[in-house]
Structure 1
Amino acid sequence: MTPRFVFAALFALCALCTFDLTWAASVPKGFVSVKGSQFQLNGRPFNFVGANSYWLPLLTEKKAVDQTFKQMRAAGVKVLRTWGFNGINGTELAGALESDLTYYQLWNGPEWELNEGPNGLQRMDYVLEAAAKHDIKVILTFTNNWSAYGGLEFYVQWIGGAGATHDTFYTDPRIVASYQRYVKTLVNRYKDSPAIFAWELANEARCRGDLPTSSACPKSGMLTEWYREQSAFIRSLDKNHMITTGGEGHFFWKDPEDPTLLNDYNYNGEAGEDFDADLALPNIDFGVYHIYPQYWYAPRDYPSSNFSLADWGVQWIKQHAEAAKKANKPVVLEEFGYFGLNNKTQVFPRWVGAALQTKQNGVMPWQFGALDLVEPDRVIKYADAIIDGDSPNDGHTIYKNQTFVYNIFTAAAAVQKLRSL
């Protein structure tokens, strides 16, 4: 399949597009809002191809931030998703200062200290300033299910103490108050900015993370209740920006047509999410979900198997489209990745095509790669590094010189632009 064919095929899908010119007129100009199953911007539908880039606020050079946004805009990207968190322990401070690491929270006890300085929130300030300059909106995520970059387990370990399980984050009132203090800081700082597309409660919240969970969390509705409470809290602070969960889109199907799904983590409620119930919450404006079957189902995909990771991904896309249709809310394929460049060329046209066919409002691969940045080569944190001016490569990163794969997304961006007329 040539890039030209991919482009033509994706454009043909726009025959399925519908155009709804209604608008939630109560929001300020430049703010994206929701009307039924459609995003709206200044009275027009807003559909997009977006980009994930957790590393963008970790850049030290403003010019490199602008270079990245220029490359995104040239690719047709309209929405960036990035981390609004990075916490460090006090023992990490000296190293962070030496490496000029961006961080926002410093933990030396149960009360974290906010870093509003030039290596803290001032860097996020510039990311949003540059996003507005390049006409790109930003989904800002408040914390991480995983320990990387100071996720929610920092709260658990510093406040919950020894023996606290991962899901303590969702129920301990001291932890909830600390999370809300951080959320309030960011929301109040940026709530007047039209560069914000939406607030996101957590990246991939689950009952378990790097710490184990308690028996109380799975299948209990604990996470749905947390989504309810935190989305209501944010709505009390900001009436104009949208809110979403950041979840992977796990279902909780109690009586599926296929009984084997009762033992499937993505469908049986063990993860703690319930995509249908979560999407129905009054202050959750749109649904998001992720796709990583190489992690989730790798043992089932082998040459003589009748199980296909690519086919499973198409099914997952269609299931979330159907759930969003029932809820009459937009849905965004917010993260997806596949290892191996040759694998991407085979799988991504199918997944992106399925997302466009089912009228998904946003398509956001993990993750965008920038080239030739004016940024010092260095290890940022963990194995994440700027090398020869190129942004970090985790095996899922997509760069412009990967022409076939890159063109899949530029073609899809053109289709989404047509759907936004």
Structure 2
Amino acid sequence: MKMQKKWSLILFALLACCGSYSCNKSNGSDAPEDDDTGVPPKKEHYPGLSVSASGQLLLNGEPYRAIGVNYFNAFIRTLDEGQQNNTSYRAGLAYLKERDIPFIRFAVNGYWPKNWELYLNNPDAYFQQLDAFVAAAEEFGIGLIPSFFWHTPTVPDLVGEPVNQWGNTSSKTHELMRKFIRDVVVRYRDSPAVWGWEQGNEVNLLVDLPGDNDNLPPIVPELGTPTTRSKEDKLYTADLRVMMQAFANEVRKYDGTRIVITGNAVQRPAARNLWKNQSWTKDTRSEFIEMLGVQHPDPIDVLSSHVYPGSAEEGYFSDEPVGVDGLIRASMEAAQALKKPLFLGEWGAQEAKYGAQTREKFMELLEAIERNHVPLAAMWVFDYPPHDTEEGINVSPDNGPREYMLQEIRQVNARIR
């Protein structure tokens, strides 16, 4: 689910040390962008999630299924102004552990360009914060799926390039991408807390949208964006495939086994027709399945989708209208054909939209996840206060009426284990 434009995390360069981490500390901040001198060779296998030759999801080598949660700002809250010693995520991790929630998906750096200042200007301070966060996850036994580039325009904005430079592997955008991947993956690849690596959030919703001056990224100069946008800031399927392949290839240089995830949402109902014809004509079921493969190129090794009750209201498919169960079932069919297990990276139900029907909508999705044997799923969202009111979807110790959501997930996890 996209963050609201008004949301921001303003970073400052000086952060106090809040812990240390004992893994390999080669962040490469003084090395040329593509210089891997001094990086130890990768091991044959790393902890966390991987995919078997037959397409089965494995955790530390054993078949695995589970439902976790999105803890979107668990880490990046520590980078906000005056939050240098904010370890509130510890209480959140403990709360999840008590409810047998096994893993979280979270942002590993800021949303807007302004929010990347600490990493770029004082990487030691940035990694002190992240070291403490990873160590806490290890302590509580919570798996981590870090999402690297949550807001797609941010990296191009940081280097002064249009957003379409995600489609150019020789760009400054890719240089910064490669540096950040190397710094994070090499530093934490030995941690048993890290389960996988994700490129970003819902990039596929940005591609192939008609109009040169329509559907452009937001402009918020005070948060580091340019003051104008143009058609060069639009993305197409070819760009998406380049950026996902480049991300996965770079991760694979340092970690040959953990899952690599796009972070894609459920594709638009007209995704193939937009790609081929710039048309909003709805795709058929078979075209939907085809596009899952197109939007998840090798060496990406899982399929990613985000499904909400409203997804079905958009209308899938032109030849066989379905609800959320049918969407998930078709996605699982594609996963089996491609031998790439499905990660339902976001799902949930908003009280702000569904009111008294929220629990029914929530259970419809949860039951579909269990019934269709989805190997991995993460509820949106845990301990993210802005979505208490904006969406009515936040679950935390402070809003007891939604505690049932974690308890229902707990019961499903017990059954599927």
Structure 1 counterpart of 2:337, from 311, 319, 326: 326
Shift in Å, 1:75: 2.0
Q: SS in structure 1 opposite 2:300?
A: coil
CA distance in 2, matches of 1:88, 1:330: 31
Q: Does 1:142 align with 2:148?
A: yes
| Aligned position for 2:132 | 126
Distance 1:369 1:266 in 2: 38
Q: Distance in 2 between matches of 1:296 and 1:170?
A: 31
Give the conservation status (yes or no) of the 8 Å contact 1:104–1:116.
no
| Deviation at residue 190 of structure 1 after TM alignment | 0.9
Please say if residues 254 and 268 of structure 1, whose CA atoms lie closer than 8 Å, have aligned partners that are also in contact: no
Q: Quick one: which of 201, 204, 212 aligns to 1:203? A: 201
- 1:22-41 aligned at under 5 Å gives the runs 27-28=45-46, 30-35=47-52, 36-41=54-59
Contact 1:249/1:290 (CA < 8 Å) preserved in 2? yes
| Contact 1:55–1:392 (Cα < 8 Å) also in 2 | no
1:225-283 deviation line (CA, Å, top 9, x unaligned): 22112201110122232211111131676589xx9x9524999999xx9422244x332
Range with greater deviation from structure 2 (391-400 or 192-201):
391-400
Deviation at 1:327, TM superposition (A): 1.3
1:104-123 matches, within 5 Å, as: 104-106=116-118, 112-117=120-125, 120-123=126-129
How far did residue 197 of structure 1 move?
0.8
User: Which secondary structure state, in structure 2, belongs to the residue aligned with residue 240 of structure 1?
Assistant: coil
- One-letter identity of the residue aligned with 1:347: K
Answer yes or no: is the 8 Å Cα contact 1:367–1:396 preserved in 2: yes
Contact between 2:48 and 2:196, CA under 8 Å: does it hold in 1? Answer: no
Matched-pair identity in %: 17
C-alpha separation in 2, matches of 1:239 and 1:142: 18
Q: CA deviation at 1:384?
A: 4.5
1:336 aligns with 2:336: no
Whole-angstrom CA distance in 2 between matches of 1:139 and 1:31: 10
Q: Hey, what's the Cα distance between the residues in 2 that align with 1:325 and 1:268? A: 14
Determine the structure 1 residue equivalent to 2:171: 173
Q: Is the 8 A contact 1:139 1:199 kept in 2?
A: yes
Name the SS of the counterpart of 2:365 in structure 1: helix
CA 1:296/1:181 → structure 2, altered by over 3 Å: closer, same or farther? farther
Pick the aligned partner of 1:396 from 393, 396, 401.
Answer: 393
Aligned-residue CA RMSD (Å): 3.9
Match of 2:300 in 1: 284
Counterpart Cα distance in 1 of 2:380 and 2:333: 23
TM-score normalised by L of structure 1: 0.68
Displacement, 1:212?
6.1
Give the AA of the match of 2:323: W
Q: Say yes or no: does 1:85 pair with 2:109.
A: yes
CA distance in 2, matches of 1:413, 1:237: 34
2:50 and 2:60 in contact (8 A); partners too: no
Q: 1:52 corresponds to which residue?
A: 70
What are the equivalent positions in structure 2 for 1:137-286 lying under 5 Å apart? 137-144=143-150, 151-161=151-161, 164=162, 166-171=163-168, 173-205=171-203, 206-207=206-207, 209-210=217-218, 213-214=231-232, 217-218=235-236, 220-250=237-267, 254=272, 263-264=281-282, 274-279=291-296, 281-286=297-302
Question: Could you say if the C-alpha distance between residues 174 and 267 of structure 1 is closer, same or farther in structure 2, counting changes exceeding 3 Å?
Answer: farther
Amino acid in structure 1 at the alignment position of 2:106: T
**Structure 1 position 125, deviation (Å):** 1.4
Deviation digits for residues 99-128 of structure 1 (CA, Å, limit 9, x no counterpart): xxxx55359xxxx434321xx222221221
Distance 2:90 2:167 in 1: 37
Contact 1:85 1:104 in 2 (8 A): yes
Q: How many matched pairs?
A: 335
DSSP 3-state at the match of 2:379: coil
Shift of the 167–331 alpha-carbon distance from structure 1 to 2, 3 Å rule, reads same
Alpha-carbon distance between aligned partners in 2 of 1:231 and 1:406, rounded to the nearest angstrom? 36
Q: Secondary structure at the match of 1:51?
A: strand
CA distance in structure 2 between the partners assigned to 1:113 and 1:156 by the alignment? 17
Deviation per CA, 1:10-48, whole angstroms, max 9, x where unpaired?
Answer: xxxxxxxxxxxxxxx9524x4322223332224432211
Instruction: Quote the Cα distance in structure 2 between the aligned partners of 1:127 and 1:152.
Output: 24
Query: 8 Å contact 1:332–1:360 — kept in the other structure?
Result: yes
Structure-1 separation of matches of 2:411 and 2:405: 10
Matches of 1:262 and 1:393 in 2, distance apart? 29
CA distance in 1, matches of 2:253, 2:61: 25
Give unmatched runs, 5+ long, in structure 1.
1-24, 93-102, 145-150, 301-309, 371-382, 386-390
Amino acid at match of 2:51: V
Q: 1 CA distance for matches of 2:415 and 2:286?
A: 38
Q: Is the 8 A contact 2:272 2:283 kept in 1?
A: no
- Aligned 8 A contact 1:324 1:331 in 2: yes
Supply the distance in 2 between the matched residues of 1:216 and 1:348 (Cα, whole angstroms): 34
